[in-house]
Amino acid sequence: MFSKTCEYAVRAVIFIAQQTKDGGKVGIRDIAKGIDSPEYFIAKILQELSRKGLLQSTKGPNGGFYLDKTAMKHSLADIVKAVDGDNIFLGCGLGLKQCSESHPCPIHHEFKKIRKQLAQMLEKAKVGTFTAELEVQTFLRR
Amino acid sequence: MFSKTCEYAVRAVIFIAQQTKDGGKVGIRDIAKGIDSPEYFIAKILQELSRKGLLQSTKGPNGGFYLDKTAMKHSLADIVKAVDGDNIFLGCGLGLKQCSESHPCPIHHEFKKIRKQLAQMLEKAKVGTFTAELEVQTFLRR
DNA sequence: AAAATAAAAGAGTTTTTTATCCTTTTATAT
DNA sequence: ATATAAAAGGATAAAAAACTCTTTTATTTT
């Protein structure tokens, strides 16, 4: 469904939201451990998300990653788009570039419904709602 | 959503169904052209599907690929499973192996609905129903 | 101001996926 | 029987994705 990179990204953002809900920051090493991902790899991904404003970071002692108010309002769909692009929300299920409403592939209309529901679901899931004290330690690992 | 390999596979099977609905066979070169895929690559994929009984082939002059009655009754879900496995139908949206009903990830329940609809949609889409004289030439290319 | 710390950036490497090439086998027609 | 056409199989190459390491830059603490 999503690339591995994208899965890590979503898990990391949820983790950061949970860990920094009362202010503060969380370091890359803790994030990697918290979501069971390769440290240097998730670091790259977060750099990218940071550049795109989907999360924030500061360097130096007491530095780390966190989410500002705007970032908290973003949805998981925004994360997915930032990492994997919007093909999963808009692209043809059979990979046909010319497939469209007026020129549909054999499963276009059925597929459209699924894609739409997926999009809506992920649009609705705002980062800020994942701050409940869930058992993150077990939930976001492997 | 699906791997490129899987997209080619589904397109090829639909193409074969359409081309051989009145009997006969279709050669790999025509299939490759018909779905705009690399010839040797789709050949490999079809070998695999043939081994799994999802389609048939014969060698020699007048040989080619075709679908017997059983193959016609298979669904697109069967093709997808044969190529990409069933992870898309069963796996966690965040890639968490331990995610389950009793130990759900943050988006488990919402995701489940999407996966189920996707599965049902593809289960319902039987290969034999794609034999209508659709404008395959334009539809399954690129 | 210097040292320590933590992320950012850049430059690889490895693994997986996708694609190509070439030889062998098999079925059919002549 | 022989020639031919087509798939099967094995081996390799190219591209993309996943992952690692090193250097740089910014910030804080002393």
| A50-59, A79-88, A129-138, B42-51: least confidently modelled range | A129-138
- Sequence letter at residue A77: A
* Cβ neighbours of B2 in A, within 8 Å: 93, 95
Question: Who's near B82: CB < 8 A, 6+ residues apart?
Answer: B9, B48, B49, B52, B54
- Provide the H-helix boundaries in B1-142: 4-19, 28-35, 39-51, 69-73, 76-84, 87-90, 108-124, 136-139
Q: What pLDDT is attached to residue A131?
A: 86
Q: Is the CB of A29 under 7 A from strand C?
A: yes
The minimal CB distance from A95 to the residues B7, B114, B121 is found for B7
Q: Is the CB of B38 under 7 A from strand D?
A: no
| A82-86, A98-102, A113-117, A125-129: least confidently modelled range | A98-102
For residue B115, report the phi and psi dihedrals to the nearest 5 degrees: -55, -45
Taking only the tens of pLDDT, chain B with its 142 residues reads: 999 999 999 999 999 999 998 899 999 999 999 999 999 999 999 999 999 999 999 999 999 999 999 999 999 999 999 999 999 999 999 988 888 888 888 899 999 999 999 999 999 999 999 887 655 444 777 6
Q: Is the pLDDT of residue A138 over 90?
A: no
Q: What pLDDT is attached to residue B135?
A: 53
Query: Do the Cβ atoms of B94 and A140 come within 8 Å?
Result: yes
Nearest residue, CA→C1' of C4? A61
In the 55-84 segment of chain B, residues within 7 Å (Cβ) of strand C are 58-63
Quickly tell me which residue has 């924030």 as its tokens. A56
Query: For residue B131, what is the nearest residue in chain A, using CA coordinates?
Result: A106
- Provide the H-helix boundaries in A1-142: 4-19, 28-35, 39-51, 69-73, 76-84, 87-90, 108-124, 136-139
pTM of the model: 0.93
Nearest residue, CA→C1' of C25? B59
Quickly tell me which residue has 């889409």 as its tokens. B125
Q: What pLDDT is attached to residue A103?
A: 87
Query: Do the Cβ atoms of B95 and A4 come within 8 Å?
Result: yes
Query: For residue B15, what is the nearest residue in chain A, using CA coordinates?
Result: A106
Q: Is the CB of B40 under 7 A from strand C?
A: yes
Q: Is the pLDDT of residue A132 over 80?
A: no
Query: Do the Cβ atoms of A121 and B114 come within 8 Å?
Result: yes
Q: Is the pLDDT of residue A136 over 60?
A: no
Which has more confidence, B142 or A122? A122
| Partners of B65 in the β-ladder | B26, B57
Query: Do the Cβ atoms of A98 and B130 come within 8 Å?
Result: no
Query: Do the Cβ atoms of B142 and A96 come within 8 Å?
Result: yes
Quickly tell me which residue has 């459209």 as its tokens. A112
* Cβ neighbours of A99 in B, within 8 Å: 139
B43 CA to C24 C1' in angstroms comes to 16
Question: How far is it, in rounded angstroms, from Cα A21 to Cα A14?
Answer: 11
Q: What pLDDT is attached to residue A140?
A: 79
B29 CA to C20 C1' in angstroms comes to 15
Burial class (CB in 10 A: 0-12, 13-18, 19+), B50: middle
Tokens of A119: 């999009």
